[in-house]
A and B are shown apart, each in its own frame.
Chain A
């Protein structure tokens, strides 16, 4: 393949996608808190972005989140839930000369259990990327298999498979996925299977078309003349030369899969809490949209950024390696 100048969208998309993958891998290092940790939910719930609270560690275990603390001679005066309380010094285990040693910073606010939204959004990157990438890997495998089978399997196989693909592409999958998810209560694995199993059709069409266009090229005729089995020809000669459109399409579908998972989770039919999926976080935020706007806004912004990154990447790949191909918008 000759050297090509990468499209600017490829650079931007690649950089953003790389950053997101790094974020997903490093989530435990980047997240300020455990995404499931609930310290003192009554005092910590629905705090707006930028809230800083003093975290008072009680000697008997457990935490109190206080808006203000004041160190006194006897111990600690705290203001919590709008009320003043006094805690003797021996009841607080993280007491310092001026107050307490710990604090809790809700950079992006907190949710209904007082969990840190920033940490949950960061961990959500892992969930979204893992589901999206695995589902696309499955769709790519299925699509290449079906496309190859249609291309080299003879006229009847081709007709049956492609007619089936036509029909599958014209099906409103979200309705079916909703029904499936509602009755199967899927975990992450099953979600990946549902998404992958309903998203391979475009890839199979592209693979088939590309292989058919290679079928009568001289190097394939030569391989056939040498007596190679059809499968060997497919594996060693056809697929290595036919993968570009399918690979670009697969990149494009990473964004689709991430969106679909989020949509299912948003409907309450995908990944269930406490798994920090952006979709179910947005859904929780919808219930309190007008009181606590941040709960739905930030996970959605992270989701949008991720989808933008992979769409840019796919668009850049398309422009760089396959500039003449038609780009069809999806979903």
Chain B
């Protein structure tokens, strides 16, 4: 028995490792392509922003300082070795500090936004999905299905702008952008937390509602699938209350594909967060990457892209593990 469990976890580990290896290989490939592409394009960071006022000699000096004049291959090998061996992404040209510091500064903002958005999304999805699945084919079910489709069809950045228009301007109850008020330093810890919460409401709601409609449809479909199974009929035949059948037996079994969905939609969520961050000037990774691109800050662009890709890869790994933990069958499938 012990031997069998070991063999299973070994194959699961093997499966996860193969996935991880493929993802990392892709990441390296993408970054390599990006590295050379970025450098091949005319225009370098010494020509943007403050750089436009430089004299030719100053510019040359800067290019030397940033290592932009060395052979491209040497720059590339340097970059790969320092990233992979020392986790050192170099120095951001526009912020004049280590790329890793800029990334780590932006990470909490994105994490707060993403988790709040996720919470709104799944709360909405479970509520609507369960309500629809309880009486399939009813008017409520149709309304939720069609409403869900309409909701996830709305462009998230436009939804954000409309939310600003409605709740920050026509009916000004919430702040329209940024993460804190300007006077946040003067506030007490409790007040500043409240301040953060007020700034979080619109972006998190927009993010959650923007994708929650689709997730609700998914929850409904999975629940209906489960409700058609034999063991549900057995549970009903045993005389269990409909509430118990739905909330305990059906939902627990629908949880597996729903957790899987979190992993599958992770890249999309990060993209959504990026747009939301740009709309609401939310100082996260997306806004950082966006500004880095506008400033042609090569090290920061490469750092932000690889960092967010790594987050997605890790998130997928976590979702796979959670999936395996919830559903022992997957171990056999993975073998």
- Chain A residues with a Cβ under 8 A of chain B: 9, 163-164, 166-176, 178-180, 182-184, 255, 259, 262-263, 266-267, 269, 282, 285-286, 289-290, 293, 296-297, 300, 303-304, 307-308, 311-312, 315, 326-331
The residues of B that contact A311 with a CB separation of less than 8 Å are 149, 152-153
Please determine whether B158 and A303 come into contact, CB atoms closer than 8 angstroms.
yes
A-B contact pairs, 30 of them (CB 8 A): A9-B146, A166-B22, A167-B19, A169-B267, A171-B30, A174-B271, A175-B308, A178-B290, A178-B293, A179-B34, A179-B301, A179-B305, A263-B155, A263-B271, A267-B275, A282-B155, A282-B157, A282-B161, A285-B161, A289-B161, A290-B169, A297-B162, A297-B165, A300-B158, A312-B149, A327-B217, A328-B264, A329-B213, A330-B214, A331-B211
Instruction: Give Cα A167 to B165, complex, Å.
Output: 39
The residues of B that contact A329 with a CB separation of less than 8 Å are 152, 211, 213-215, 217-218, 261, 265
- Nearest B-chain residue to A183, judged by Cβ: B41
Interface of B is mostly: helix
B150 contacts A by Cβ under 8 Å: yes
Q: Known: A269-B293, A329-B265. Contact between A289 and B164, CB under 8 A?
A: yes
Q: Which of A172, A259, A307 contacts B309 (CB 8 A)?
A: A172
Min Cβ gap A66→B in Å is 30
5 nearest CB pairs, A to B: A329-B214, A300-B158, A174-B271, A167-B26, A167-B22
Q: Which of B155, B274, B286 contacts A307 (CB 8 A)?
A: B155
- CB under 8 Å from chain A, chain B span 283-309: 286, 289-290, 293-294, 296, 301, 304-305, 308-309
- CB under 8 Å from chain A, chain B span 1-56: 18-19, 22-23, 25-27, 30, 34, 37-38, 41
Min Cβ gap A21→B in Å is 17
Min Cβ gap A120→B in Å is 16
Please determine whether A303 and B155 come into contact, CB atoms closer than 8 angstroms.
yes
Please determine whether B271 and A172 come into contact, CB atoms closer than 8 angstroms.
yes
Query: Interface size class for chain B?
Result: 35 or more
Q: Known: A300-B158, A303-B158, A329-B215. Contact between A315 and B271, CB under 8 A?
A: no
Min Cβ gap B212→A in Å is 9
Q: Which of A9, A166, A182, A290 contacts B293 (CB 8 A)?
A: A182
- Chain B residues with a Cβ under 8 A of chain A: 18-19, 22-23, 25-27, 30, 34, 37-38, 41, 146, 149-150, 152-155, 157-158, 161-162, 164-165, 169, 211, 213-215, 217-218, 221, 261, 264-268, 270-272, 274-275, 278-279, 286, 289-290, 293-294, 296, 301, 304-305, 308-309, 312-313, 316
The residues of A that contact B313 with a CB separation of less than 8 Å are 170
The residues of A that contact B289 with a CB separation of less than 8 Å are 175, 178-179
Interface of A is mostly: helix
Q: Which of A166, A180, A255, A331 contacts B19 (CB 8 A)?
A: A166
Instruction: Give Cα A285 to B261, complex, Å.
Output: 34
Instruction: Give Cα A323 to B145, complex, Å.
Output: 14
Please determine whether A175 and B265 come into contact, CB atoms closer than 8 angstroms.
no
Instruction: Give Cα A208 to B229, complex, Å.
Output: 28
Please determine whether A171 and B312 come into contact, CB atoms closer than 8 angstroms.
yes
Besides A171-B27, A259-B155, A307-B153, 11 other A-B contacts (C-beta < 8 A): A166-B23, A170-B313, A171-B312, A172-B309, A175-B308, A179-B301, A263-B271, A296-B158, A311-B149, A312-B149, A327-B218
Please determine whether B162 and A163 come into contact, CB atoms closer than 8 angstroms.
no
The residues of B that contact A9 with a CB separation of less than 8 Å are 146, 149
Instruction: Give Cα A266 to B146, complex, Å.
Output: 27
Instruction: Give Cα A134 to B316, complex, Å.
Output: 31
Please determine whether A331 and B271 come into contact, CB atoms closer than 8 angstroms.
yes
Instruction: Give Cα A297 to B272, complex, Å.
Output: 19
The residues of B that contact A164 with a CB separation of less than 8 Å are 22, 26
Please determine whether B153 and A255 come into contact, CB atoms closer than 8 angstroms.
yes
Q: Known: A267-B290, A293-B165, A327-B217. Contact between A172 and B312, CB under 8 A?
A: yes
Min Cβ gap B256→A in Å is 13
The residues of B that contact A307 with a CB separation of less than 8 Å are 153-155
Please determine whether A308 and B37 come into contact, CB atoms closer than 8 angstroms.
no
Min Cβ gap A79→B in Å is 30
Please determine whether A176 and B153 come into contact, CB atoms closer than 8 angstroms.
no
Q: Known: A164-B26, A296-B161. Contact between A304 and B271, CB under 8 A?
A: no
The residues of B that contact A266 with a CB separation of less than 8 Å are 157, 275
The residues of A that contact B264 with a CB separation of less than 8 Å are 169, 328
Instruction: Give Cα A255 to B149, complex, Å.
Output: 12
Min Cβ gap A306→B in Å is 9
- Nearest B-chain residue to A165, judged by Cβ: B22
The residues of B that contact A328 with a CB separation of less than 8 Å are 218, 261, 264
Q: Which of A175, A267, A326, A331 contacts B305 (CB 8 A)?
A: A175
Q: Which of B22, B154, B275 contacts A263 (CB 8 A)?
A: B275
Min Cβ gap B86→A in Å is 23
Q: Which of A170, A175, A296, A312 contacts B304 (CB 8 A)?
A: A175
The residues of B that contact A163 with a CB separation of less than 8 Å are 18-19, 22
Please determine whether B149 and A315 come into contact, CB atoms closer than 8 angstroms.
yes
